[in-house]
Structure 1
């Protein structure tokens, strides 16, 4: 691993950092309303007397309160509309990035983030705040479709699992930044600085993308310019990197310059002389230009499949079923029941003096730390193995969590919840974001990724709204607490079986045809 990482170029690292600013903003906006909820909705003016007293030296604490009065259903609507925007962005991004490329698509997500964040920051009513949340949601949904594709197409094949995990890592980092800012800025009108920070990050993303090239694989497959794609990939990987096998795997030729093209690198006089000789030879030996044996510079690219076309295609349908199922598994195993409701879940498990805001930050740190630590595992043990370990681990953790809550074993409940988050990072967190680019060819990768992320946002919505309702109903009907985690344990068992039967292993496979055991067609 260390030897492979030493071969990485600074340019590649910069591209990874810039591109993952998109998913980072997804995590940031997902959590931005969590800590300052009471302040924004006019129910409270500060989160802690300590912070208020410190800030009183800078600003008079008796100043007018800046908030937007809203009921809990209205706040739930404002929060949920982000996922609706995410669903819209995810569905639209796939076909767009397939036809127009990754670079332009990422620039448009930055524009959505900037406009949405500005509207959020300046809003003074529920409809305006909801509009901003919807627009940032569109940017978030599109980013989680496009960025994993871009990373998988510029990262070295041996480290695609590692760098693919950076999407989930950046999401968790965004959550941590938002929660930390919320802890210190949830008072008076300071909460607007949280929302306004999204403008700064989005602007940084937009300027950073000026350094980024178009995806080499897309350039070769969609535009048919294999030579340009090869030059771009060589620049990303370094001049000494061997990229022959990877370029050949695109199915568009080697992209190496022909002898004629190499002659163009010489002096102007030599080039002109060579062109004249070739022209004379061509007139004497070739009956017409159409019968010349000169090879085509590249093969014709395959037409991209639309959202519905990909589902109807017999070659891509199994991949769509696999990635949609994995995305549902990612959410329906219950991760957001802890990420989004950790405060209420741990309220009785920790000392009263421990701030719920600090607790949320600790959960975010654990989530980020375990995701980062586990990022090399998909490349080492395989995607399928990590998914299975993650799903089974979460299922066992759910079962232990349910029993410990029911019997009031507080320490065990806390430990089970932490293991629940840790097992998510092993596979269900990072792997689903990289599968779409490995299970289908370039002609269907955008549509497949849209299917996957669309399923993810639907499942996220179901858990976000369904967990508190189902949890309260089961506790009321059956008595006690923790019953809902038996459901999550059962769902984990179901999804583990789904992974065993439906999801193929992609580690070490050159292309989708090899993954599914198909014979590649030669056009």
Structure 2
């Protein structure tokens, strides 16, 4: 009975932890929103289609028309593709510096400034009357979103108990899909020649809401401890976790002990029956501290030349690029265009329905990550995507709208169950503590490059291959499935040193 009393209780999601996670994930909502914001209005925005919601009202008599906003921006197919894909270049730029600045100034303060960047970019998009202005706005919101996709999982990892880190981290992908859903919902009403600019303006509202909510949350306790503010770290951690204060103090003390430092005095070791978290969980949490301290000492050159990082570096590159090369953003960026070939009148509604399914499936996946493990979910997700894209291609080639819609939904669902949430989660799990900061930037960079290639290249391949373009994704997803099966170790609940790489 006594031993049972001394066993640590399973951590719970407190209201404070849930709220802080939601605020942290608001950056992911912006990311999803901006990824998909040109999908539905692309044709009316580029003057290739005219949709008048008020036949009796000329555009120059509307508020936008009377204030100098053009009805559309005349764009070629190539220009529209670049406007869509330049978001990824901005994202790459933002992700490259986000980790270091967040380490220097704190996750909360950096996120605050990043929201201001998001507001600015959205307002540039709203005001854009030329191709150059559209490109500039997309690039700026890309910077904001690229920074968010680095800082959000970092922040969540640092506030979540080890046992809940996979599930809480999956909320990042859930909120990305929530942002996509918000875009598609608004597009049902605003994706016409008169109102498409309000879709751009909504991005500024989301960024402003995120900025205001940041006033209601505390800084990351791990970052506070890394800056020497141990009392502040304890206070924040206790508000997030609840429970007894001495348990919180014990956890912070474990971080500092595993880090090789101490607050001094040894007063926290005076009680031999204190409740402390398992050493493995403490070591994994403290490694977040260590990665901050050693980020500057490990150079980029060392990361790319030291053989100790070769296997993890290749694995991170393949997983993060494959998330895109399996084709998901061909639908996020151009889904309305793909579906409108078979269902021109219902393309927006079908795209919205797919977004709902995507969100629900992603939320369900968040409950599985810590139960089934990373590797089985990646294999089943990528393998199923390979099959689904083959049928998507069949639906387009045979002009079968039922097959197209059914397997597009299946494709999105199985992506959400594995290849959506897991890649960003496993970057830190595959990397040694001293390399995690660089690895996060490296993996995110790989992902952005792949996003740009898909975003810019898909319209050309679609025009060249038609529906057969999805067979390219079929072949790639099948190859990636085999790679994960034979080359990637399971990372669930393991330290990097315990991973079993294939010799």
Question: Following TM superposition, by how much is the alpha carbon of 1:118 offset from its aligned partner in structure 2, in angstroms?
Answer: 2.0
C-alpha distance in structure 2 between counterparts of 1:126 and 1:202, whole Å: 24
> Residue 193 of structure 1 corresponds to which residue in structure 2?
198
1:84 and 2:89 equivalent? yes
Q: 1:154, 1:104 → 2: CA distance?
A: 16
The answer as to 2:473 corresponding to 1:488 is: yes
| TM-score, normalisation: structure 2 | 0.82
- C-alpha spacing 1:395/1:39, structure 2 compared with 1 (3 Å): closer
CA deviation string 1:123-157 (max 9, x = no partner):
32222232222111001011101101111111122
**2:445 match:** 454
* CA distance in 2: counterparts of 1:206 and 1:441, whole angstroms: 33
1:357-376 to structure 2, matched below 5 A, reads 357-376=348-367
Q: Using a 3 Å threshold, how does the CA distance of structure 1 residues 308 and 105 change in structure 2: closer, same or farther?
A: farther
Q: Which residue of 1 aligns with 2:241?
A: 237
**C-alpha separation between the residues in 1 aligned to 2:40 and 2:64?**
21
Distance 1:110 1:376 in 2: 29
Per-residue deviation at 1:92? 1.8
Runs (5+) with no aligned partner, structure 2: 1-8, 271-288
Q: CA deviation at 1:55?
A: 9.1
CA apart distance, 1:189: 4.7
Q: Which of 4, 18, 24 is the aligned partner of 2:23?
A: 18
Matching residue within 28, 52, 55 for 2:54: 52
Query: What is the Cα deviation at residue 255 of structure 1?
Result: 6.3
Question: Are the structure 2 counterparts of residues 8 and 247 from structure 1 closer, same or farther at C-alpha, using a change threshold of 3 Å?
Answer: farther
Alignment of 1:468-507 (within 5 A): 468-475=459-466, 482-507=467-492
1:129 correspondence with 2:131: no
1:224, 1:252 within 8 Å by CA — same for their partners in 2? no
Deviates more, 1:192-201 or 1:91-100: 91-100
Structure 1: stretches of 5+ with no match in the other structure: 264-297, 476-481, 518-523
Paired residue secondary structure (2:421): coil
Residues 108 and 504 (structure 1 numbering): CA distance in 2 closer, same or farther, change over 3 Å? Answer: farther
Q: Does 1:252 align with 2:252?
A: no
Given that 1:395 and 1:493 are in contact with CA atoms closer than 8 Å, whether structure 2 keeps it comes out as yes
Conservation of the 8 A alpha-carbon contact between 1:224 and 1:299: no
- Specify whether residues 312 and 99 from structure 1 end up closer, same or farther in structure 2 by C-alpha distance, changes over 3 A only: farther
Shift of 1:182: 2.2
Partner Cα separation in structure 2 for residue 334 and residue 150 of structure 1: 28
Partner of 2:497: 513
Choose the corresponding residue for 1:311, options 304, 324, 327: 304
Q: Deviations over 1:143-202 (max 9, x none)?
A: 101101111111122221111111111111111111222221234553332222222221
Q: Check if 1:169 corresponds to 2:174.
A: yes
The structure with more helix, counted as a fraction of residues = 2
Return the match for 1:422 from 407, 413, 420: 413
In 1, Cα distance between the equivalents of 2:35 and 2:81? 13
Look up the SS of the partner of 2:294 in the other structure: coil
Alpha-carbon distance between aligned partners in 2 of 1:493 and 1:395, rounded to the nearest angstrom: 6
Partners of 1:230 and 1:255 within 8 A in 2: no
| RMSD, aligned CA | 3.3
Contact 1:226 1:255 in 2 (8 A): no
Task: Tell me the distance in 2 between the aligned counterparts of 1:300 and 1:326.
Answer: 22
2:158–2:221 contact (8 Å) kept in structure 1 = yes
Give yes or no for contact 2:85–2:451 (8 Å, CA) kept in 1: no
Give aligned pairs, total.
465
Contact 1:165 1:431 in 2 (8 A): yes
User: Which secondary structure does the structure 1 equivalent of 2:215 belong to?
Assistant: helix
Structure 1 461/247 Cα, relative in aligned 2: closer, same or farther at 3 Å?
A: farther
Instruction: Return the alpha-carbon distance in structure 1 between the equivalents of residues 125 and 135 of structure 2.
Output: 8
